[in-house]
Amino acid sequence: MPNSIPPLKVGVAGVGVMGRNHARVLSDIREFDLTAVFDPDAPTAEGVASLYDAKAFTTADDFVAAGLDAAVVATPNRHHADLGVALLKRGVHVLVEKPIAATVADAQRMIDAAKASDRVLMVGQVERFNPAVEAVKRAIQGEKVISIQITRVGPFPPRMGEVGVVIDLAVHDIDIIRHLTDSEIVEVQPQLARTKAEREDTALLQFRLENGTIAHITTNWVTPYKVRTLQVATEGKFVVADLMTRQVTEYFGQQPDGSYSTRGVMSWPNEPLKKELEAFAHAIRTGEPPAVTGEDGLRNLEVALRCLGEG
């Protein structure tokens, strides 16, 4: 970046697990200068702010008025829209953690505020920037996708309280499915169960997309170990990815005896969150639409709410 362009003054709202990650990565990106941290819990706000020489805020109003160019909203979902809209109206570019908001109406308010103020609204669907997802997208380019299967399971995360697995986990995979197919989900067949949590902690979700692709998501908080796998079947190949190890394998050229040729697909060792925040900076600097738009966030939320019978 040329010296003549000063870095963007950025703040992080909500410094729980995800917000702290954002603060850590932002402090390492030269396009940004992390100047403000907001959390209603003063020791939390001050603790994180002190790590990065930023100013701590404990009220949303003071954070909004802090003279920022950009902000990351990583508060609980129910606060996304009010805070996001207030920042956008102030002329601040916003990256909001997934899901974009708690309701479709709230998501629309944010999209409208971004348009009215001509500011970037990007949604933090971090798996889009996972090198393994990018490698799968490249591997299936030009192929007719038949089916997609995603497994995202693991033990119950102690941090969760307000939402179940569909909003917390499946929203990642709904976005991956839309991203890989460049198509919209038109049919939803959800099966949900609750075993240990207040909300659903097990979900089997089946989808049909506009282009005919079928997709299936298995997600839960009852598996004692984490699994994050993505499998895509096309007319010409079968691609398998482990989203944690980033290992991607392509099976192709089926022989009469049923055997396949295989090859590993290169996936780069990038940190997805860093790629996401760099994409946010790029959208702000160039005026190009962000990699994950407010409309993307709205579509993902709509599908998730339909799975919960709330859409």
pLDDT interval class at 160 (50, 70, 90): low
Query: Which residues, at least 6 apart from 287, have a Cβ–Cβ distance to it below 8 Å?
Result: none
Ranges of H-type helices in the chain: 17-26, 42-51, 60-64, 80-89, 104-117, 131-139, 165, 171-181, 272-286, 294-307
Average pLDDT for 26-48: 98
* pLDDT score of 3 more than 60: no
* pLDDT score of 2 more than 60: no
For residue 195, give the 3-state DSSP assignment: coil
Residue with the bigger pLDDT between 87 and 158: it is 87
Structural domains of the chain sorted by starting position, each given as residue range(s) with its CATH number in brackets:
8-119 (3.40.50.720), 128-272 (3.30.360.10)
* pLDDT score of 28 more than 60: yes
What is the pLDDT at residue 195?
A: 87
What is the pLDDT at residue 268?
A: 79
* pLDDT score of 123 more than 90: yes
Average pLDDT for 122-145: 97
- Would you say the pTM of this structure is higher than 0.75? yes
C-alpha 126/C-alpha 128 separation (Å) is 5
Burial of 301 (0-12, 13-18, 19+ CB in 10 A): buried
- Give me the phi and psi of 167, to 5 degrees please: -75, -40
C-alpha 181/C-alpha 9 separation (Å) is 36
pLDDT interval class at 48 (50, 70, 90): very high
What is the pLDDT at residue 176?
A: 98
* pLDDT score of 18 more than 80: yes
Burial of 53 (0-12, 13-18, 19+ CB in 10 A): exposed
Tokens of 124: 């933090």
Burial of 93 (0-12, 13-18, 19+ CB in 10 A): buried
The answer to whether 262 touches 269, Cβ cutoff 8 Å, is no
For residue 309, give the 3-state DSSP assignment: coil
DSSP 8-class letter at 24: H
C-alpha 117/C-alpha 223 separation (Å) is 45
